[in-house]
Amino acid sequence: MNLALFDLDNTLLACDSDYEWGQFLVDRGVIGREDYESQNAAFYEQYKAGTLDIHEFLGFALRPLAAHAPGELDRWHADFMATRIRPAIGAPARELVRGHLAAGDLCAVVTATNSFVTGPIAKEFGVPHLLATEPERSGDRYTGRVAGIPCFREGKSQRLDAWLAAQGRALRDFPVSTFYSDSHNDLPLLERVTRPVAVDPDEKLASEAGRRGWLVLSLR
């Protein structure tokens, strides 16, 4: 069995689901446009530049989850999937995932975006496993805080190792381990797999992929 790992935002998706979820809430009038929109854009620019403080960002991004009841959040998310996410999923991305599933590979989405936002997206692709940043819960409500290690940069490797260890496995056990990503923020995990693939990469990752001779492909 081989291992196939997929980054989500700007890799399988032609958008950033974390950013789009915030903008969706702004457009729905759930949160104020002026303050939230500018902060959301600023954090997104920091992410692209590689300067994002993930804990500062999560304190911002998880607040709306704590402010609303689960049923209300779920209703909004269904609309979010229909209007923002499914239009951002291209046929090549679906075909890529289907190919790995058909081959019997162990498949997982590995994303920094929180599991509330990304759980239904992973299901849309038919990927059975999701490693994502976990929002903390108290009873049936979100607290606005993060639980455990954020699935970001080196955290992706840590979360992957813990997930595999829970199955009695390690990354080295797989003859081929593939990770698809668009972002230089994912270099810590890309450097560990046997088959790193840069998907519609940002400028820094494109340069690194060229230097190292990594496969580069487009899903657009």
Identify the pLDDT of residue 55. Answer: 87
**CA dihedral (40, 42, 46, 48) positive or negative:** positive
Q: Is 143 exposed, middle or buried (0-12, 13-18, 19+ CB in 10 A)?
A: middle
Pairing of strands 106-114, 129-138: parallel
Among 209, 207, 204, which residue's Cα sits nearest to residue 179? Answer: 209
Number of domains in the chain: 1
Nearest to 4 by CA among 198, 182, 179: 179
Taking only the tens place, the pLDDT of each residue in 189-203 is 999 999 999 999 999
Instruction: Report the pLDDT value the prediction gives residue 163, as an integer from 0 to 100.
Output: 98
Q: Which helix (H) or strand (E) holds 18?
A: helix 17-27
**What would the mean pLDDT of 208-219 be, rounded to a whole number?**
98
Vertex 32, ends 27 and 37: CA angle to 5°?
70
The pLDDT score that the predictor gives to residue 113 is 97
pLDDT of residue 37: 82
| Tokens coding 113 | 């975006």
- Confidence (pLDDT) at 98: 98
List, in sequence order, every residue forming a beta bridge with 114; answer none if it has no partner: 133
* pLDDT score at 58: 86
Where does the pLDDT of residue 128 fall: very low under 50, low under 70, confident under 90, or very high at 90 and above? very high
Average pLDDT over residues 88-102: 98
Domain containing 108 equals: 3-217
For 9-66, the pLDDT digits (tens) are 999 999 999 999 999 999 999 988 887 888 888 888 998 888 988 889 888 889 999 9
Distance CA 19, CA 29 (A): 16
- Catalytic residues, by residue number, are 7, 9
* Cβ atoms of 161 and 177 closer than 8 Å: no
Taking the C-alpha atoms of residue 194 and residue 6, their distance in angstroms, rounded to an integer, is: 14
CATH number, residue 66: 3.40.50.1000
Contacts of 215 (CB under 8 A, 6+ apart): 195, 196, 197, 198, 209
| Residue 38, pLDDT score | 85
